[in-house]
């Protein structure tokens, strides 16, 4: 292990030359993708410790081709951990991330518990990697999956044109609601397959019965509500897109309006974006920026049927961008369509990238001592 102190400086001594990583929530939808991402990326970690609820203790999961036993979440589970990724519900992170930080780990948290805390940086390495270095609580937050699915592309366009407004409609996959969301859609698809359902009011709703974590049937449907209800009719997901985009881009006054819609896609969120800038834009310039932006793939040739879709983008790392058009009524605005795997860049990949930034910083600190 390498020690520098989670909350910015306390800490112990080196025991090995590769940092120890903990994955908290290793059994969940994000955790499962995290284990495959950790198996694919450069092997910078020493021990990788897998943590979940007591329900999963003793289960064996595969990471880096090896079987590793899951341990139950406890204070002792963080002994000797340099970096702890949290892929657990908000309330579990809220309680346990500060405990992990107090044990000396740098926490990278995927939940919504700390994202808007002014003492917790909200980091997307392609956009604001520098922010990860200042972490008074020893915690770095990972943005929500809807924001993450578009922000790399928007950050690149902002750097060139200066973003002033975002109007976003999302088409969100059911895996954004975790394993329960995936199971619910798969069960509903089995119930409606091969039937004539979807032709009479309420016939799908009656056939599927329990709608699981969603407020309406997901099979053969679109549902204009994701998250929980907040003030004035906005959903929590819609407010996250606004607040998190502002924080990541460092634009506290950015005008943002989002409508978040759940669609019957297993994994990969899509967003239709109207982006207004300080300066006039052209499709050619936007194409050039997007084609050269790290983490972005431009896929924009509708005459050839080339545009991003979730079915093509799922399981891949980049943000896919297509349908780039200049607004007919506003020379400062672009319309575009974006797809990003909500479990990869939208969650696990971004967390892994942040953890790698931290590991490099810890290694540099250890080398300088
Ligand atoms: N799904 C997405 O697209 C997405 C994107 C970005 C961020 N996130 C966030 O990432 C987090 C995980 O989401 P998910 O979709 O992976 O959820 P999930 O599939 O429901 O998995 C939850 C994980 O948390 C563990 N857990 C639950 N209660 C626990 C407790 N009391 N103590 C220890 N571990 C506990 C579970 O362990 P057991 O298996 O032992 O119960 C499981 O490993 C959430 O905060 C979510 O908002 C999700």
Residues 2-43 pLDDT 10s: 654 444 433 333 346 899 999 999 999 999 999 999 999 999
Closest atom, ligand 1, to C-alpha of 148: 6
The best mutation among 27, 28, 78, 348 to test binding of ligand 1, ranked by most ligand atoms within 8 Å of the C-beta, falls on 28
Say how far apart CA 348 and CA 83 lie, in whole Å: 14
Which residues participate in the annotated binding site for substrate?
172, 262
Say how far apart CA 172 and CA 184 lie, in whole Å: 15
Q: Is the pLDDT of residue 122 over 90?
A: yes
Active site residue 287: no
178 C-alpha to center of ligand 1: Å? 7
The contacts of residue 208 (CB under 8 Å, 6+ apart) are 187, 188, 191, 192, 217, 219
Nearest CA to ligand 1 atom 31: 53
Statement: the pTM of the whole predicted model exceeds 0.85 = yes
89 C-alpha to center of ligand 1: Å? 5
Which residues participate in the annotated binding site?
27-30, 55-56, 115, 172, 175-176, 262, 342
Beta strands in 53-196 (DSSP E): 60-63, 66-72, 83-86, 106-109, 139-141, 163-172
The pair of three-digit structure tokens given for residue 315, joined into one six-digit string: 């399981």
The best mutation among 88, 171, 182 to test binding of ligand 1, ranked by most ligand atoms within 8 Å of the C-beta, falls on 88
Mean of pLDDT values over 180-209: 97
Say how far apart CA 62 and CA 54 lie, in whole Å: 19
Q: What is the pLDDT of residue 238?
A: 98
Q: Say if ligand 1 is within 6 A of residue 90 CB.
A: yes
Say how far apart CA 51 and CA 21 lie, in whole Å: 11
The pair of three-digit structure tokens given for residue 290, joined into one six-digit string: 């997007």
Q: What is the dihedral of CA 170, 172, 177, 180, to 10 degrees?
A: 160
91 exposure class (CB count in 10 Å sphere: 0-12, 13-18, 19+) = exposed
Q: Say if ligand 1 is within 6 A of residue 88 CB.
A: yes
Q: What is the pLDDT of residue 16?
A: 61
Say how far apart CA 250 and CA 253 lie, in whole Å: 9
288 C-alpha to center of ligand 1: Å? 38
Which residue has tokens 């995927």? 110
Closest atom, ligand 1, to C-alpha of 173: 3
Report, in angstroms and rounded to the nearest whole number, the Rg of the chain calculated over CA atoms: 21
The 10 Å CB-count burial string (b at 16+, else e) for 162-182 is ebbebbbebbbbbbbbbeebb
Q: Which of 203-207, 322-326, 362-366 has the lowest mean pLDDT?
A: 362-366
Catalytic residue among 260, 269, 299, 339: 269
Q: What is the pLDDT of residue 367?
A: 81
Say how far apart CA 16 and CA 31 lie, in whole Å: 25
**How much of the chain exceeds pLDDT 70, in percent?**
96
DSSP 120: S
The contacts of residue 111 (CB under 8 Å, 6+ apart) are 86, 87, 88, 89, 90, 92, 93, 94
The pair of three-digit structure tokens given for residue 94, joined into one six-digit string: 């809220």
| φ, ψ at 41 (rounded to 5°) | -85, 170
Nearest CA to ligand 1 atom 33: 53
Active site residue 145: yes
Q: Say if ligand 1 is within 6 A of residue 56 CB.
A: yes
Nearest CA to ligand 1 atom 30: 53
Closest atom, ligand 1, to C-alpha of 179: 19
Tens of pLDDT, residue by residue over 213-254, are 999 999 999 999 999 999 999 999 999 999 999 999 999 999
How far from chain centre, in Å, is Cα 44?
Answer: 22
The pair of three-digit structure tokens given for residue 184, joined into one six-digit string: 């619910």
Q: Say if ligand 1 is within 6 A of residue 178 CB.
A: yes
- Edge-to-edge strand list for the sheet holding 139-141: 60-63, 66-72, 48-52, 21-24, 83-86, 106-109, 139-141
Q: Say if ligand 1 is within 6 A of residue 70 CB.
A: no
Q: Say if ligand 1 is within 6 A of residue 350 CB.
A: no
Say how far apart CA 174 and CA 156 lie, in whole Å: 28
Q: Is the pLDDT of residue 316 over 60?
A: yes
Say how far apart CA 211 and CA 258 lie, in whole Å: 24
Catalytic residue among 145, 260, 299, 339: 145
């Amino acid at each position: 292990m390498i020690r520098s102190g989670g909350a910015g400086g306390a800490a112990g001594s080196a025991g090995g030359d590769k940092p120890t990583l903990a994955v908290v929530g290793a059994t969940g939808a994000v955790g499962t993708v995290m284990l495959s991402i950790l198996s694919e990326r450069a092997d910078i970690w020493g021990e990788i410790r897998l943590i979940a609820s007591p329900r999963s203790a003793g289960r064996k999961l595969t990471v880096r081709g090896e079987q590793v036993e899951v341990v139950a979440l406890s204070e002792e589970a963080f002994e000797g951990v340099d970096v702890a990724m949290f892929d657990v519900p908000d309330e579990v992170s809220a309680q346990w991330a500060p405990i992990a930080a107090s044990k000396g780990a740098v926490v990278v948290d995927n939940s919504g518990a700390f994202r808007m805390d002014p003492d917790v940086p909200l980091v997307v390495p392609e956009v604001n990697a520098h922010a990860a270095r200042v972490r008074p609580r020893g915690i770095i937050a990972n943005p929500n999956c809807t924001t993450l699915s578009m922000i790399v592309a928007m950050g690149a366009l902002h750097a060139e044109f200066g973003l002033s407004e975002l109007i976003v409609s999302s088409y969100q996959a059911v895996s954004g609601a975790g394993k329960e969301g995936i199971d619910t859609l798969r069960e509903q698809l089995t119930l409606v397959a091969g039937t004539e359902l979807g032709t009479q009011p309420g016939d799908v709703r009656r056939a599927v019965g329990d709608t699981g974590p969603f407020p309406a049937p997901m099979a053969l449907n679109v549902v204009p509500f994701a998250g929980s209800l907040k003030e004035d009719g906005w959903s929590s997901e819609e407010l996250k897109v606004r607040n998190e985009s502002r924080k990541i881009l460092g634009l506290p006054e950015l005008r943002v309006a989002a409508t978040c819609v759940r669609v019957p896609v297993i994994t990969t969120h899509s967003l239709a974006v109207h982006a207004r800038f300080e300066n006039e834009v052209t499709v050619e310039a936007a194409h050039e920026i997007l084609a050269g932006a790290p983490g972005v793939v431009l896929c924009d040739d509708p005459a050839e049927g080339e545009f991003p879709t979730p079915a093509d983008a799922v399981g891949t790392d980049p943000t896919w961008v297509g349908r780039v058009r200049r607004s007919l009524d506003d020379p400062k605005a672009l319309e575009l369509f974006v797809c990003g795997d909500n479990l990869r860049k939208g969650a696990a990949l971004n967390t892994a990238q942040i953890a790698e930034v931290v590991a490099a910083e810890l290694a540099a600190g250890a080398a300088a001592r």
